[in-house]
Amino acid sequence: MDQYAHLVKLFLQGLDQYRLSIAKSEPVELYQPEDYILGLGGKRLRPLLALIACDIFDKEPALALDSALCVELFHNFSLIHDDILDAAPLRRNHATVHKKWNTNIAILSGDMMLVKAFQALQNYSAEEFMQLSAVFSKTSIEVCEGQQMDMNFEKEKSVSEENYLKMITCKTAVLLGCSLQMGAINARGDKEDQTNLYEFGKHLGIAFQLLDDYLDAYAQTPEFGKQIGGDILANKKTYLLIKAYALANQYQRKELDRLINLDGTNSEEKINGVKHIFNELAVTSTCLQLADEHTRLAITHLDNVKAGESKKNHLKDFALELLKRRS
Amino acid sequence: MDQYAHLVKLFLQGLDQYRLSIAKSEPVELYQPEDYILGLGGKRLRPLLALIACDIFDKEPALALDSALCVELFHNFSLIHDDILDAAPLRRNHATVHKKWNTNIAILSGDMMLVKAFQALQNYSAEEFMQLSAVFSKTSIEVCEGQQMDMNFEKEKSVSEENYLKMITCKTAVLLGCSLQMGAINARGDKEDQTNLYEFGKHLGIAFQLLDDYLDAYAQTPEFGKQIGGDILANKKTYLLIKAYALANQYQRKELDRLINLDGTNSEEKINGVKHIFNELAVTSTCLQLADEHTRLAITHLDNVKAGESKKNHLKDFALELLKRRS
């Protein structure tokens, strides 16, 4: 991400300014959680994509700062509420908002951040504001839908590959596409370029999520930062498990059912057993292949953007680097 | 409300159309709660105010239909989330969303409705969309702030009259003002008229809430629909209680403290005791006086709107009728 260090810095300066502007707002129970979660860090990938998309058309990246703030506020709103839904105690190694304060405050401060995401756009011209709001609200609804689909999957016996891909597209990928499109709107890119950048981000997001599923079971390095096999232990319906069920013969299906019903004391047997079936059915290579396909699709869309090759290559390198760190 | 029956009908037709448009949307866990709460009825006061404000300038009230939908979606989003915060089992005699489904679904479907409130405005021209979004997002943030202040008051030993008025202004009154202003924007009313209608709605809302506090303790008719003294039993910091504490001498304060700490078995003693002190300190008449003041302020703002007297008188009658039903 070094090639974009200046853009990350630009965003963080803007974010600091925003945080300063809310520092004395009341009631503090509403604004402290907002400041807290915005201060927890993270890659700032979504705001960075907005700035990159503006920069790619040789426009001042600062033009996209409010769009960047909008998507970062939205992302953090969704983290606060998702952490309630998942009853998660930790976020980036710090207490989640509903743990540090309480669930009511987490609901309400999240609501407020969602409104503030829309409000962040209102310094743009009316025409730009309208275009930005349209793609942003469409995306926000899809993110809610994706989150609900993910919750539904937990209770469903079987999930189709199609629905799984739809879920990760909505829950993760469209916000990356939206961030890029918003930056392109700020740069006055035409509709075609906007769509190509949106699709680039969307397919990148899908590839990203598929690799995440793969890495959960097969990461070699501690860099990944999560427990290897965590998804398997939690019976999470990842692409690997969904595909394995779809391809399994009756014996493999029976064995998968048995392994899934194993309790926590047999975690090694469970992880190794499930991975053994993954290997038998070659679902890992299917997963990596599909991630590759979406990466290629992403790159094709980027290639079609009417912008300088050098900046497009930078973005391509950045995308591949992001994916590489996941494989 | 008979004089506006045609506007209520117009809104309900628009609402039916909207509900039809989401009827087949998926995941159903997200859209059924939205349809459910929108179908629970209610006075539809906020959307009606948007249509009335547009109509007052002799413009087609249908111009304000999307603004009306916006404020109704927002109001219902806030009901869903507030019911979680209050752990309320019932809303308009039906199960609340978090009871009928679960808290996670209530959080997420509420989030989606908040986004849809913003999205409802996007068929307006860019300029109108911008003006509407600005007043709507400002108001939405104030509603969140008011809700948080209300939650804070529950835990605070003493609340000032100033903060109490600020809370009811944010939690209830500004959305009435916003609904009217949005209708005025749709009618292309000038800035001054917009502000006067906003202030009319705001002061009406404050008067409305003060009367609500009064009626909780002193309603004579069963029409009010709530248990008489319910706020007193719940130790709710109403205007009456706040003012009573402010005016009490040390003996009265001691007696108030004693009554507030009475457990549920002495409900009659508690209600009568607290009301006795209210009477001694004449806080009921102070409350009614303040409600009157805000009603007068509201009417003055309405008088200043540059619109036909007949339509303004209709609205005045309607406002006074609304307040009368509360006193």
What is the 3-state secondary structure of A265-279?
Answer: HHHHHHHHHHHHHHH
Residues B326 and B210 sit within 8 Å (Cβ to Cβ):
no
Read off the DSSP letter of residue B263.
-
Q: Does the beta-carbon distance from B141 to A84 stay under 8 Å?
A: no
Using pLDDT thresholds of 50, 70 and 90, give the confidence band for residue A60.
very high
**Confidence check: pLDDT of B110 > 80:** yes
Using pLDDT thresholds of 50, 70 and 90, give the confidence band for residue B264.
confident
Q: Does the beta-carbon distance from A122 to B115 stay under 8 Å?
A: no
**Confidence check: pLDDT of B36 > 90:** yes
Residues B96 and B105 sit within 8 Å (Cβ to Cβ):
no
A26–chain B nearest CA distance, Å = 8
Among B114-128, B156-170, B254-268, name the one with the lowest average pLDDT. B254-268
CA distances (Å), origin A163, targets A158, A168, B26 = 10, 9, 12
The residue in chain A having the minimum alpha-carbon distance to the alpha carbon of residue B140 is A115
Residues B201 and B176 sit within 8 Å (Cβ to Cβ):
yes
Nearest by CB to residue A134, choosing from B114, B122, B127, is B122
A268–chain B nearest CA distance, Å = 32
Q: What is the pLDDT of residue B220?
A: 73
Mean pLDDT of B292-296: 98
Mean pLDDT of A119-142: 98
Residues B319 and B204 sit within 8 Å (Cβ to Cβ):
yes
Q: What is the pLDDT of residue A116?
A: 98
Nearest by CB to residue B130, choosing from A110, A126, A140, is A126
Query: Helical H runs in chain A?
Result: 5-22, 28-38, 45-55, 65-85, 97-100, 103-119, 126-155, 161-168, 174-186, 191-218, 230-233, 239-247, 250-260, 267-280, 283-303, 309-324
**Confidence check: pLDDT of A223 > 60:** no
The distance from CA A270 to its chain's CA centroid, rounded to whole angstroms, is 28
The residue in chain B having the minimum alpha-carbon distance to the alpha carbon of residue A111 is B111
- List pLDDT tens digits, range A266-284: 888 999 999 999 999 999 9
Using pLDDT thresholds of 50, 70 and 90, give the confidence band for residue A226.
low
- List pLDDT tens digits, range B42-64: 999 999 999 999 999 999 999 99
Q: What is the pLDDT of residue A224?
A: 52
Using pLDDT thresholds of 50, 70 and 90, give the confidence band for residue A221.
low
Q: Does the beta-carbon distance from B81 to A108 stay under 8 Å?
A: yes
Using pLDDT thresholds of 50, 70 and 90, give the confidence band for residue A144.
very high
Give the integer Cα–Cα distance in Å for A19 and B178: 27
Q: Does the beta-carbon distance from B141 to A119 stay under 8 Å?
A: yes
CA distances (Å), origin A201, targets A156, A169, A302 = 29, 10, 9
**Confidence check: pLDDT of A319 > 80:** yes
**Confidence check: pLDDT of B203 > 70:** yes
Select the highest-mean-pLDDT range: A211-220, A265-274, B187-196: B187-196
The CA radius of gyration of chain A, in Å to the nearest whole number, is 21
Q: What is the pLDDT of residue A2?
A: 76
Q: What is the pLDDT of residue B267?
A: 87
Asked if B118 is an interface residue toward chain A (Cβ–Cβ < 8 A), one would say yes
Using pLDDT thresholds of 50, 70 and 90, give the confidence band for residue A19.
very high
Mean pLDDT of B270-279: 94
Mean pLDDT of B110-132: 98
Among A145-154, A261-270, B9-18, name the one with the lowest average pLDDT. A261-270
**Confidence check: pLDDT of B276 > 70:** yes
Mean pLDDT of A131-147: 98
Q: Where are the beta strands (DSSP E) in chain B?
A: 90-91, 94-95
The distance from CA A95 to its chain's CA centroid, rounded to whole angstroms, is 20
Residue showing tokens 């290629």: A296
Asked if B84 is an interface residue toward chain A (Cβ–Cβ < 8 A), one would say yes
Q: What is the pLDDT of residue A230?
A: 85
* Average pLDDT of the residues of chain B: 94
Q: What is the pLDDT of residue A228?
A: 79
Q: Does the beta-carbon distance from B130 to A134 stay under 8 Å?
A: no
Residue B171, Cβ neighbours under 10 Å: how many? 22
Contact residues, chain B, for A109 at CB < 8 Å: 144
A236–chain B nearest CA distance, Å = 18
**Confidence check: pLDDT of B216 > 80:** yes
**Confidence check: pLDDT of B265 > 60:** yes
Asked if A140 is an interface residue toward chain B (Cβ–Cβ < 8 A), one would say yes
Best mutation site among A70, A76, A118 for testing chain B: the one with the most B CBs within 10 Å?
A: A118
- List pLDDT tens digits, range B232-252: 988 899 999 999 999 999 999
Under 8 Å CB pairs connecting chains A and B tally to 116
**Confidence check: pLDDT of A327 > 60:** no
Contact residues, chain B, for A84 at CB < 8 Å: 104, 107
Q: What is the pLDDT of residue B289?
A: 97
Asked if B114 is an interface residue toward chain A (Cβ–Cβ < 8 A), one would say yes
A78–chain B nearest CA distance, Å = 9
Contact residues, chain B, for A130 at CB < 8 Å: 122, 126, 129-130
Q: Does the beta-carbon distance from B107 to A85 stay under 8 Å?
A: yes
Asked if A107 is an interface residue toward chain B (Cβ–Cβ < 8 A), one would say yes
Q: Does the beta-carbon distance from A114 to B119 stay under 8 Å?
A: no
B101–chain A nearest CA distance, Å = 13
Q: What is the pLDDT of residue B326?
A: 58
**Confidence check: pLDDT of B167 > 80:** yes
Q: Does the beta-carbon distance from B148 to A111 stay under 8 Å?
A: no
Q: Does the beta-carbon distance from B141 to A112 stay under 8 Å?
A: yes
Q: What is the pLDDT of residue B85?
A: 95
Q: Does the beta-carbon distance from A115 to B114 stay under 8 Å?
A: yes
Give the integer Cα–Cα distance in Å for A240 and A235: 11
**Confidence check: pLDDT of B225 > 90:** no
Residue B173, Cβ neighbours under 10 Å: how many? 26
Nearest by CB to residue A145, choosing from B27, B84, B145, is B27
Asked if A167 is an interface residue toward chain B (Cβ–Cβ < 8 A), one would say no
B5–chain A nearest CA distance, Å = 33
B67–chain A nearest CA distance, Å = 16
Using pLDDT thresholds of 50, 70 and 90, give the confidence band for residue B221.
low
Mean pLDDT of B116-129: 98
**Confidence check: pLDDT of A309 > 70:** yes
